[in-house]
Amino acid sequence: MKIQEKKTDNILVLYIQERDANLAIAEEFKELVLNKIASGETKMIISFASVSYLDSSFLGALVSVLKNLLPLQGKVVLIELGSDILSLFELTRLDKVFILRDSLGNALQEFK
Amino acid sequence: MFFKKIDFIFPTSPDGIHEFVETTILKVSELVLLSEKICQRIRLILIELATNFIKHSLTQEGILTISIKEKLLEITMPDKGSRFFELLKRKIFPNSIGEVAEISFSDTNNHFIKIISENKFQFLNPYLYDFKIEPMKDHYGLYIITLASDYFSIYHNQTSKEAEFMISLAI
């Protein structure tokens, strides 16, 4: 799984650099992020700029990440979702559960 | 009356899902005009059917059939070997035919299923019926197909003696 990490204002920014966010990488992604949370990272932004589609496995991984952050008063913002992925979040009503923003700049505002 | 039917072969690994979905939509688009919104819904359904096949099917070969009858697109897929239909049937009955059963596969993975007959069950869109549904699930596959389609059912095909998923949407 190709993923780039950066730290901005003490917030972990993860750039998923895979076209397909699907069952092939969902478990690995979940483990990586849960390990980050276990290491103390509770503020994160995840970019989907390179992702064309996302399946139910990856959606489940994202929900698992959120469920682990909530008891720690952590926060995750998802950014740069393409129209297909956005429509998936709207369809499943997860756009009411996750914070979705169109850019890194707007996402960083969520942590101020 | 316009009627077309095409068979597609499922990919056997996640790497093949993207091409499978786009090729399928392209071929269907050659036969009938599809709006971007409908393409999005079909894409979501195909992704989940392909993922379900790769994760759960006990056979290496899976065929998905798309039928277009006037303004209705129908997708059928045999549920080969996964025993899902039997599991569902055990959970659904002792409810009665005609009733809506709430079935849970885990704490957060509940579905509302209308019992059409002894061997046919329809997954209901919970938002159309104002049913209480947990948005933060551990599994989303069947849920996505239910929401993206107009009609989603599983039934026992008496001819093939197999369980089949049937999904339809108005195009």
The pLDDT of residue B57:
75
- Give the one of A19, A60, A96 whose C-beta lies nearest to B139's C-beta: A60
Query: B168 is written with which tokens?
Result: 């339809």
Cβ contact (<8 Å) for A20 and B18? yes
Q: How far is B127 from chain A (nearest CA, A)?
A: 10
CB–CB contacts below 8 A, A to B: 69
Inspect the interface and report whether the beta carbons of A66 and B136 lie closer than 8 Å: yes
Q: Do A64 and B44 touch (CB under 8 A)?
A: no
- Cα A76 to Cα A22, A86, B18, B41: the distances in Å are 20, 16, 27, 27
In whole angstroms, give the CA distance from residue A33 to residue B34.
Answer: 38
Residues 81-100 of B with CB under 8 A from A: none
**Residues A56-79: pLDDT tens digits?**
999 999 999 999 999 999 999 999
Coil vs helix vs strand at B44? helix
What are the pLDDT digits (tens) for B51-78?
Answer: 999 988 777 788 999 999 989 999 999 8
User: For residue B100, how many other CB atoms are within 10 A of its CB?
Assistant: 13
Q: Average per-residue pLDDT in chain B?
A: 91
Chain B residues within an 8 Å CB radius of A91? 44, 144, 147-148
Chain-chain contact of B135 with A97 (C-beta, under 8 angstroms): yes
Quick one: average pLDDT of A97-106? 97
DSSP state of A32: H
Name chain B contacts of A96, Cβ cutoff 8 Å: 135
Confidence of residue B82 (pLDDT cuts 50, 70, 90): low
Rounded CA separation B76/B156 (Å): 12
Smallest CA–CA distance, residue B168 to chain A, in Å, is 17
B40, A83: Cβ pair inside 8 Å? yes
Chain A: closest CA distance from residue B158 (Å): 31
Q: How many residues does chain A have?
A: 112
pLDDT in tens, A22-53: 999 999 999 999 999 999 999 999 999 999 99
CA distance, residue B41 to nearest chain A CA (Å):
9
A55 and B54: CB-CB below 8 Å? Answer: no
- Which positions in chain B touch A97 (Cβ < 8 Å)? 135-136
Q: Which residues of A touch B57 (CB under 8 A)?
A: none
Residue B29: CA atoms inside 13 Å, Cβ hemisphere, count?
15
| Residue type, position B147, single letter | L
* Nearest one of B157, B147, B159 to B78, comparing CA atoms: B157
Q: What is the DSSP string of A79-98?
A: E---HHHHHHHHHTTGGGTS
Helix, strand, coil share of chain B (percent; to 5): 35, 30, 35
So what's the pLDDT on residue B125? 94
Question: Phi first, then psi: what are they for B104, rounded to 5°?
Answer: -120, 135
Cβ-Cβ contacts under 8 Å, A88 against chain B: 44, 144
Closest to A26 (Cα-Cα) out of A8, A53, A4, A45:
A53
Residue B147 clears pLDDT 80, i.e. is over it: yes
